[in-house]
Chain A
Amino acid sequence: MAVVSSRGQKLGNRVAIAAIIVITIIFLTPIYWIGSTAFKPRNLATTAPPTILFEPEVSPFVKLFTKRVQLKPNEQVDRENAPWWEQIIFDGGERISRTGKGEVQLSGYPDRFMNSLIVAITSTLLAVSMGTITAYGFSRFKVKGEADLLFFILSTRMLPPIVVAIPMFLMYRAAGLTDSHIGLIILYTAFNVSFAVWLMKGFIDEIPREYEEAALVDGYTRMQAFFRIVLPEAATGIAATAVFCFITAWNEYAFALILTNRRAQTAPPFIPSQIGSGLPDWTVIAAGTFLFLLPVAIFTFLLRNHLLRGMSFGAIRK
């Protein structure tokens, strides 16, 4: 194609770039819509035609973090001595409340967000460390039935989550692990380990064995060589794997829906459950969605080059 560089070619290129611009805008519209609705006053969220230009507000976020509760007859709330975050809630809450009755408290969202963070971060750390050392084991030593074992590890990802969810639910109920952080952490770790092993094996295979051999000759033990030579070399691979594991655990829905109901519930089952019946307040849903999507969007941007490599890697290796 490079040989025939005619006027037609140039025109073709321009048409292609115009098409790319149009498609990118179409693809990003839903994401822009989440972001913009999160800052809209409620009456502008559901208008026909849709409102594109408006004065941004933070009231959806205040509403997201607060709920109004009815106080018992003799109950008093000490506003003066409340910590600063509760002061903000009280101030914001007054603006959004119409009736004078009741008191403003934190809503369920911050808890669910924290649960998501705890579960996703812990399971990512576990999956990545287990995945890295196991990948090193497979990469550097002879393991009996290596190909079969690796295929077995991958095959655990092929099942529909609901298929495993039924026995998991029964096992967890018997072990008292339902609605616990630990239960979800173990489960997400199990799902992510298989992926981490495959991805990390690809990265570690690429590090020349000569590096460790030289270290061994210099008097390092094998463990020292692993920690001081191999791990630093594999750092970018570890980072990419960690982001993938985090995204999977952060976004998981089916198990969280089945295995948790309140205490350990994460945001993915919580946000849809808030929609209820009647007219939903889409600005609050958008605010919750926006905050929830933000970490992943930031990760995607910061690590885009590693992500591209890691993703095509995992797929091609298979």
Chain B
Amino acid sequence: MLNNMITSLDPQSRAAARGWSDITIRNVFVIPTVLFLIVFNVFPLIYSLGFSFTDFRASTKDPANFVGLKNYMDLLSDPFIWRNFTITAHYVIVSVAGQVVVGFGLALLLNRSFPLKGLVTTLLLLPMMLSMAVVGLFWKLLYDPNFGIINFALGLGKFEWLANPDFALYAVALTDIWMWSPFVMLLSLAGLSAVPKHLYEAASIDRASRLYTFFRITLPLVAPILLIAIIFRTMEAFKTFDLAFVMSGQPTTEVVSIRLYKMAFQEWQTGKSCALAYIVLIMVLCITNVYVKYLNKAKER
């Protein structure tokens, strides 16, 4: 019974008899990697699930006491945690919306042939290849109210970007938009190039307006791939840590990852932070599920 699921190259099974058999090769090639991933991805999660029900503190030698759901109850009734989630949601919406507008707009502009198109596309990809922490640090100079190039270029005088609590989150989001719009642009370009040309020709024969063509042909056909870009970017923005942590120490930019970091490695509330990590994990899974549902709907159309 096992034998007929070994290989899909049955005609050559005689050849496979030389050297390692196909089943051996498959096992040697697949099983170690899967085990490796289980040990380093699944095991830590189970480990921290256990800690999330305790009052363990990694800074002391005290043994962990089982406290049941107390950590979860405390966290869910803590207004400060909800503030962190609100800040994160705010950040996700601003930065993803910005990336979609800029990235898709850029893709619409680039979706034509012009000289040096390849070079321009590559240059625009550069920001997303760089380190968020290191680049984020340097953006502090660009934002500097006294001698930053941004205020100079925009003629904003001594406008405070990062020191202003009301504006710091947007300043961080703007850097994120700079870094990741190219990603949305890239996926949108792939989507745009897949739209059949004859649809546009038919539309122009019918003397359809540009707006009509855009909303009835371009957008629906690019929607699925644009949604994939949005899913990716939402997940990443929700996870955000590097940029906000390096660029700003404001309480108004304390996204949930930073709260988690402080709780775990500065306050050393290990058990409680594991519980918070699980709350975040459940949220990520919910968001993904909602998106996947929309994605399937968009694909059906």
Are B15 and A220 neighbours in the complex by a CB distance under 8 Å? yes
A197 contacts which chain B residues (CB < 8 A)? 33
Closest to B193 in A: A312
A235 at the interface (CB under 8 A from B): no
B123–A34 CB distance below 8 A: no
| Number of A residues with CB within 8 Å of any CB on chain B | 107
Of A4, A134, A222, which is within 8 A of B30 by CB?
A134
Would you call A56 an interface residue if the criterion is a C-beta within 8 Å of the partner chain's C-beta atoms?
Answer: no
Partner-binding segment picked from A67-75, A78-86, A91-99, A290-298: A290-298
Using CB atoms, name the residue of chain B closest to A32.
B149
Give min CB distance, B25 to chain A, whole Å: 6
B65 interface residue per 8 A CB criterion: no
A162 at the interface (CB under 8 A from B): yes
Report A127 CB to chain B, min CB distance, Å.
10
Are A162's CB and B257's CB within 8 A?
yes
Contact with A along B239-269 (1 / 0, CB 8 A): 1011000100000000001001100110000
Q: Check B30–A156 contact: CB distance below 8 A.
A: no
The CB with the most chain A CB atoms within 10 A, among B44, B106, B132, B285, is that of B44
Determine whether the beta carbon of A141 is less than 8 Å from that of B134.
Answer: no
Name the interface size band of chain B: 35 or more
> Could you mark each residue 275-318 of chain A with 1 if its beta carbon is under 8 Å from any beta carbon of chain B, else 0?
10000001001100100110011011100110110011001101
Q: Does B284 contact A (CB under 8 A)?
A: yes
Q: A170-B270, A213-B9 are in contact. Are A253 and B133 (CB under 8 A)?
A: yes
Q: Are B131 and A156 in contact (CB under 8 A)?
A: no
* Inter-subunit contact B190/A316 (CB<8 Å): yes
Given contacts A20-B114, A251-B130, contact A142 B8 (CB under 8 A): yes
A30 within 8 A of B: yes
> Does B76 sit within 8 A of A, measured CB to CB?
no
> Are B19 and A315 in contact (CB-based, < 8 A)?
no
Distance A187 CA – B44 CA, assembled complex (angstroms): 12
Given A141-B26, A297-B129, also A46-B147 (CB < 8 A): yes
Contacts of A13 in B (CB 8 A): 112, 114
Asked whether, in the complex, the Cβ of A253 is within 8 Å of the Cβ of B242, the reply is: yes
**A316, B277: Cβ atoms under 8 Å?**
no
A262 to B68, CA, bound (A): 37
Contact B134 A315, beta carbon cutoff 8 Å: no
Residues of the A chain whose Cβ atoms lie less than 8 Å from the Cβ of B29: 133-134, 136-137
Task: With both chains docked as a complex, state the minimum distance between the C-beta of A253 and any C-beta of chain B, in angstroms.
Answer: 4
Contact flag A17-B114 (CB < 8 Å), given A2-B197, A289-B135, A300-B129: yes
Q: Are A159 and B146 in contact (CB under 8 A)?
A: no
Instruction: Point out the residues of chain A lying under 8 angstroms from B261, CB to CB.
Output: 162, 165, 254, 258
Chain A residues lying within 8 Å of B60, measured Cβ to Cβ, are none
Query: Contact flags (1/0) for B270-298 with A, using CB distance below 8 Å?
Result: 10011001101100110010000000000
Give A16 to B210 CA distance when docked, in angstroms.
15
Partner of A193 from the list B12, B33, B109, B152 (CB cut-off 8 Å) is B33
**Bound state CA distance, A169 and B264, in angstroms?**
10
A131, A162, A315, most chain B CB atoms within 10 A: A162
**Interface: B6 (CB within 8 A):** yes
Query: In the complex, what residue of chain B is closest to A213 when comparing beta carbons?
Result: B12
A56–chain B nearest beta-carbon distance, Å: 18
- Taking a contact as CB atoms under 8 Å apart, the answer to whether A130 and B32 are in contact is yes
Q: Is A60 an interface residue (CB 8 A)?
A: no
Contact across chains for B20 and A2 when beta carbons are under 8 A apart: no
B156 to chain A, nearest CB (A): 12
- Determine which residue in B22, B26, B186, B205 has the highest number of CB atoms from chain A within 10 A of its CB, and name it: B26
B178 neighbours in A (Cβ, 8 Å): 27, 30
Structural contact, A300 and B125, CB atoms closer than 8 A = yes
Cβ–Cβ < 8 Å partners of B30 in chain A: 134, 137-138, 141, 143
Looking at B11, B12, B132, B284, which has the most chain A CB atoms within 10 Å of its CB?
B12
A50 touching B148 by the CB < 8 A rule? yes
Q: Name the one of B22, B110, B153, B280 contacting A222, with C-beta atoms under 8 angstroms.
A: B22
**B118: A residues at CB distance < 8 A:** 304-305
Cα of A307 to Cα of B112 in the assembled complex, Å: 20
- CA of A270 to CA of B280, assembled, Å: 28
Q: List A residues at the B interface (Cβ < 8 Å).
A: 1-4, 13, 16-17, 19-20, 23-24, 27-31, 33-34, 37, 45-50, 130-131, 133-134, 136-138, 140-144, 149, 152-153, 156, 158-171, 173, 186-187, 189-190, 193-194, 197, 209, 212-213, 216-217, 219-224, 226, 247, 250-251, 253-254, 258, 267-269, 271-272, 275, 282, 285-286, 289, 292-293, 296-297, 299-301, 304-305, 307-308, 311-312, 315-316, 318
Other A-B pairs, 17, CB within 8 Å; known A3-B205, A24-B120, A289-B135: A2-B197, A3-B201, A27-B126, A28-B123, A34-B135, A46-B144, A141-B8, A164-B41, A166-B274, A168-B44, A186-B40, A251-B133, A272-B246, A285-B138, A292-B131, A293-B134, A315-B232
- List 25 contacting pairs A-B, 8 Å CB cutoff, sorted by A: A13-B114, A20-B110, A27-B127, A30-B178, A34-B138, A134-B29, A134-B30, A137-B25, A141-B8, A152-B37, A156-B41, A165-B264, A171-B44, A247-B129, A253-B133, A254-B242, A267-B134, A268-B242, A272-B137, A285-B141, A292-B134, A299-B129, A312-B187, A315-B228, A316-B228
Q: What 4 pairs between A and B have smallest CB-CB spacing?
A: A221-B19, A137-B29, A216-B15, A167-B44
